[in-house]
Structure 1
């Protein structure tokens, strides 16, 4: 079943309703022409990886210098369509200072499926007005505005504390507004170089992916890399630049110990962070319990939380305490770390039905 078919099987909701949006900093993702800088050709050549990961939409960051009318963008669109993927563009548009139309319309006229806009207020609805002739285009925005999806970093701000995570989720669903696009990675995220550092990252990934709404990932997040957009993607091999480019250059800024974080290494490891993301995204897309547009809470031990997606059997449990705790009743679908004697270990999340 292709992604489009999986989403269509859940009723009449639009494709973006629960979409996985993967933001790529074009200059840091993949170098297709060997000049040492990432480009659209490099991204096009790596779409198979995004298809394997389970991405619904590729969001182009660093797109200000790109030409939507040029062949590389058309080629990217064509290959993305074959993989049932959408292509969106991340832009910094300030409707209070300029007409957004000349910035946005060239992209939609050449096939872009929508935009992820920088956090700018749009009280007069100028962006919506600019796209009035393209009702099928999607806008992910921040703050006040008539967006399809509201970019939300509340989980990232909450940190790894069950009470604060629960409050962040509760506050979001208590407030009226656009459907959420949950994001975890921030530009200040540190490198997760060992299992202890990856433990909360993996657990919060399952919390994020269990919530109603879309999700926004940054490239490399699924590998346990820092959230900053300028991280060069490590693809394969045993030394920098790990397949990012064929250029002969000084790659000393890429840590040599990323050898264990490459996509190649993690695809071969069933216990890796990448394998967890792949499994989680596939389960989220295919399992019938991932519906419902709200959450209801269960009682949980101190330092823990458990919620169910309303109207479904899906339960997400999170343990941020220092102790093992019993699981809620149900069949375990996925855990961020192995269970210990049938219980949820510290720093672990689980999905059950």
Structure 2
């Protein structure tokens, strides 16, 4: 939130900035928000939660609860008094099970966690760790979706791309976005990810205009850390461009939420050329194909619903993913 939008012009993102941009998040297709770096006693939190829920968002709190140092139940209690919808827990050792016990006491809440524990969603960054190689990504997906595992929350949080924002840098970002959004489970997006921006989690969100800080804040401070070339990649610019990364995310998230093909919690793999894969959601008609090889490849049978780049003579180009139904 501290890097999302600044209303009081102190150079730091705030709740009012986040509230003012709820319409953008709704347009993007987001259905839940995770508040990070917020004190549950922060001024304006009650108002924000009320307006966010009225707009249809569930709100979770990012909680770094260390059961070596504090009582997890006491740490979560202030948020529960706000009737928060859930928590995104930072990875922590829980040798005595105190954190797991505290979470078990709130089964009606959505909890995203890592490692052992009674979480509803298992946060993972296996996709970015795998890199842009079909075989490695397939192995990662197979491992995460192994029988008996919890429902996954897929993230690309450690992904990085070149600051040049050239087409070569954006190609794997766009392709992996479709892979991520085609998989069963939840998807965790970091702000700016939908713009194809670099993977720094504290990135200052570029909203509009021609110069840094691109509408993030009216504060008169040094914004030299924000690349001037981001003027071409602001939310304002990309919303008007059907070929932009933001438009790709919007179309993909709309289809994921509304299209009947996005059913089923299991996938099955098809045979594919080397450097490629294709999987289908079991119980539906959705097929996701990825080409990380060195040449275009034929598409699986079906009607193309969306592709990360234009097809070439009906084939899937290098560095491209597509959805078919």
- Shared topology, TM-score over 0.5? yes
**1:351–1:51 CA distance, 2 compared to 1 (3 A):** same
Q: TM-score, normalised by structure 1?
A: 0.89
- RMSD of aligned C-alpha atoms? 1.5
Q: 1:152, 1:181 within 8 Å by CA — same for their partners in 2?
A: yes
1:190–1:227: 8 Å Cα contact kept in structure 2? no
1:280 is aligned to 2:265: no
**How do 1:22-171 residues align onto structure 2 when only pairs under 5 Å count?**
26-63=1-38, 66=39, 68-122=40-94, 124-171=96-143
The 8 Å contact of residues 182 and 215 in structure 1, kept in 2 or not, is answered as: yes
The 1:187–1:315 alpha-carbon spacing in structure 2 relative to 1, beyond 3 Å, is closer
Q: CA deviation at 1:229?
A: 1.6
1:172 aligned residue (115, 132, 144):
144
TM-superposed CA distance for 1:135, in Å, is: 2.8
Q: Does the Cα contact within 8 Å between 1:142 and 1:150 map onto a contact in 2?
A: yes
Unmatched tracts of structure 2, length 5 or more:
none
- TM-score normalised by L of structure 2: 0.96
User: Whole-Å Cα distance in 1 between the matches of residues 259 and 234 of structure 2?
Assistant: 29
Q: Distance in 1 between matches of 2:200 and 2:135?
A: 27
Q: Would you say how many aligned residue pairs link Structure 1 and Structure 2?
A: 325
In 1, distance between residues paired with 2:242 and 2:258?
20
- Show CA shifts across 1:324-353 (max 9, x none): 110000011000000011110000000001
The answer to whether the 8 A contact 1:125-1:146 is kept is no
CA distance in structure 2 between the partners assigned to 1:224 and 1:94 by the alignment: 33
**1:296 partnered with 2:268:** yes
Task: Report the Cα distance in structure 2 between the residues aligned to 1:302 and 1:296, rounded to whole angstroms.
Answer: 17
Instruction: Say which is worse superposed, 68-77 or 276-285, in terms of deviation.
Output: 68-77
The 1:188/1:287 distance shift into structure 2, 3 A limit, reads closer
**Partner SS, residue 315 of structure 2:** coil
Superposed CA deviations along residues 19-66 of structure 1, whole A, max 9, x for unmatched, are xxxxxxx11111011111111111111111100001111111222xx2
Q: Structure 1 regions of 5+ residues with no counterpart?
A: 1-25
SS in 2 for 1:247: coil
CA contact (8 A) 2:103 2:119 kept: no
Q: Deviation at 1:130?
A: 2.2
Report the secondary structure of 1:29's partner residue.
Answer: coil
Residues 98, 188 of structure 1: alpha-carbon distance in 2 compared, 3 angstrom cutoff: farther
